[in-house]
Amino acid sequence: MSYVALIPARMKSTRLPDKPLADIAGQPMIVRVAQRVALSGAVRVVVATDDTRILEAVEAAGFEVVMTRADHPSGTDRLAEAADLLQLPDTDVVINVQGDEPLIDPKLLDHVAGQLLADPDLPMSTAAHVIHDAADFFNPNVVKVVTDARSRALYFSRAPIAWARDAFAKDTHSLPDGLAPLRHIGIYGYRAGFLRAYSRLQPSALEGWEALEQLRVLWHGYAIGVHVAAHAPAPGVDTPEDLERVRKLFAAGV
């Protein structure tokens, strides 16, 4: 398996200041993420940052890092610049791994990359898992995705999709038999050429309403392959409480 894993990292977190450098069992979180990603099939693991403190921490741990501009509107734009700085060929497969997921499953990266490696016509890929809890299905903070017969995304939404009309007319406290809604997992794969093209696509009204950047891809007519994982991934670190939970897991030998 041949793909490049890029990890965008910046300091500006309101809920957890200096999050990438938060200590987890003696190492900064961004280093813990890179160590986890290095267990995947990626042939290259690179952190993309705009902060010299992150650069120094990553280099000290022996991982590759590139400095990008500080004015990118999104992590995807930062990845596009990183792909240019690394001079990645358009055909290379790039996996975007968030810098706050020190427990990410390395095999999940391989599966998302595998979709692009298996289908040369697919420009982008992502992942999802089956929702079993009705509360998650109706929660607008849980992003849902519906797919077609080829496991390509038809739509992403914060709304409960697909809507079982007759069943939900009777009961919205449980999911009807046979309905297997999918929760989107925020990991993305791109061909480097599409990553560059994506940064030039105009935002769509849909992504503004849903606050879901990936809808820009569907709006412009591009396909997104969806790997359905067997289980939900470990949660990332967004709050001080999340950080303490992860620290305890590492202390226990995760």
Q: What is the pLDDT of residues 210-224, one digit of tens each?
A: 999 999 999 999 999
Residues 6+ apart with CB under 8 A from 222: 123, 124, 194
Average pLDDT over residues 194-212: 93
pLDDT of residue 16: 86
* pLDDT tens for each residue of 101-134: 999 999 999 999 999 999 999 999 999 999 999 9
**Predicted pLDDT at 8:** 92
Q: How confident is the model at residue 184 (pLDDT cuts 50, 70, 90)?
A: very high
Residue 116 Rama label (left phi>0; alpha psi -120 to 50; beta): alpha
Number of Cα atoms under 13 Å in the Cβ half of residue 246: 26
Helix axes 29-37, 52-60, angle to 10 degrees: 50
Q: What is the CATH number of domain 3-241?
A: 3.90.550.10
- 3-state helix/strand/coil string of 6-67: EEEECCCCCCCCCHHHCEECCEEHHHHHHHHHCCCCCCEEEEEECCHHHHHHHHHCCCEEEE
Q: Structure pTM?
A: 0.93
1 has a pLDDT exceeding 70: no
**Span 40-48, mean pLDDT?**
96
Q: What is the mean pLDDT of the chain?
A: 94
Give me the mean pLDDT over the 39-58 stretch: 96
CA distance 83 to 4: 10
Q: Does pLDDT of 9 surpass 80?
A: yes
Cβ contact 127:201 at 8 Å: no
Residue 126 identity: T
Please name which of 252, 250, 249, 239 lies closest in space to residue 15, comparing C-alpha atoms: 239
For residue 74, pLDDT over 80 is answered with no
Q: How confident is residue 78, by pLDDT bands cut at 50, 70 and 90?
A: confident
Domain ranges of the chain: 3-241
Please classify residue 211 by burial: count the beta carbons closer than 10 Å to its beta carbon, then call 0-12 exposed, 13-18 middle and 19+ buried: exposed
The whole-angstrom separation of Cα 250 and Cα 160 is 35
Is the pLDDT higher at 16 or at 192? 192
pLDDT confidence of residue 11: 85
- Supply the pLDDT for residue 201: 92
